[in-house]
Amino acid sequence: MSAFQSGRPLLLVALALLSHGCASTPHPVTDRPFTFGRDTFAFANELVWEYGWDSQGRWRGQPRSPKPEYSHHCFVVVRAAKQFFWHAEFHPAARPTDDLTYRRLVREVLSSDPRKPRPPKDRIQIPGYRDLHAFSAEHGRLLKTESGGAWLSYFQRGHWRMIFPFSRRSQERTAQQLIEAVDQNRPAVAHVHCFPNLRINHAVLIFAAREDPVEVVFQVYDPNTPEQPCELSFDRSTRTFNYPTTAYFPGGKVTVYEVYRNFWY
């Protein structure tokens, strides 16, 4: 028996588990929709480079000066926004507490499962602020410190999926899964990339969608631009996702998949 044959049963088991992990699974409906400007952070994931078109029409970048203080945290920021949405509740009428207590509460939220919401009755109570945006405006340094380092963006466990091909059919399934997610008030962290090209390798949080026969337009929280929501579109005829021109991306076709969805991602 060849080495390949002897390992075949284990390979079949692994493939079965992988297929199960990638399958769509039911998620509970949360009690309210994710709201931009309420459930998003007041601070930005800053850019390391400044980009633009040169005189020959080429997209170019150069290092920013001065260097940013908080960068390469896109996955960290959107994961944390989802964790606060699912696991925390703000109480503006309650008396504000001290920094040590806020640090303990933030740590409790950020140690919670980003793949499964907490029942409303069990959510972590944050006193003295109306929402995450207001809280982060005053406690940005605390949140940045406790959310984790930039290395968490580079080593998010779902990155393995990026290196394998994505078919048009798989992207169509992804679009449908994202529509279902936002219909359930379940914001979805999406990995947006052009691998093996590195023009974009980014994470956004998808929280709303509008559909017509031609396309689906998703509203996203882009941690690089916290002032306003961005849009990620899906063309039904080509079964292709497209991201607009931003301060860091020239715009165009991208590949998308959801992370913090199940065991594998």
Q: With respect to residue 234, please indicate whether it lies within any of the assigned structural domains.
A: yes
Last residue of a domain, one of 133, 153, 173: 153
Q: Are residues 188 and 110 in the same domain?
A: no
pLDDT of residue 193: 95
Task: State pTM to two decimals.
Answer: 0.85
Q: Are residues 56 and 100 in the same domain?
A: yes
Q: Are residues 174 and 255 in the same domain?
A: yes
Last residue of a domain, one of 120, 153, 186: 153
Tokens at 8, concatenated? 């075949």
Q: With respect to residue 20, please indicate whether it lies within any of the assigned structural domains.
A: no
106-135 pLDDT tens trace: 999 999 999 999 999 999 999 999 999 999
Q: Are residues 223 and 205 in the same domain?
A: yes
Q: With respect to residue 236, please indicate whether it lies within any of the assigned structural domains.
A: yes
> Distance (Å, rounded) from C-alpha 137 to C-alpha 139?
6
User: For the chain, what is the domain count?
Assistant: 2
Last residue of a domain, one of 153, 184, 199: 153
Q: Note down the domain range covering 132.
A: 49-153
Burial of 218: CB neighbours in 10 Å, binned 0-12, 13-18, 19+: buried
* pLDDT averaged per 10 residues in sequence order, the chain, 265 residues: 37 38 49 94 92 80 87 94 97 97 98 92 97 98 92 70 89 97 95 88 96 97 96 98 93 94 72
pLDDT of residue 18: 41
- Cβ neighbours of 78 (radius 10 Å): 30
> Distance (Å, rounded) from C-alpha 230 to C-alpha 50?
19
pLDDT of residue 245: 92
pLDDT of residue 265: 66
> Distance (Å, rounded) from C-alpha 251 to C-alpha 200?
9
Tokens at 243, concatenated? 């991201």
Q: With respect to residue 221, please indicate whether it lies within any of the assigned structural domains.
A: yes
pLDDT of residue 262: 73
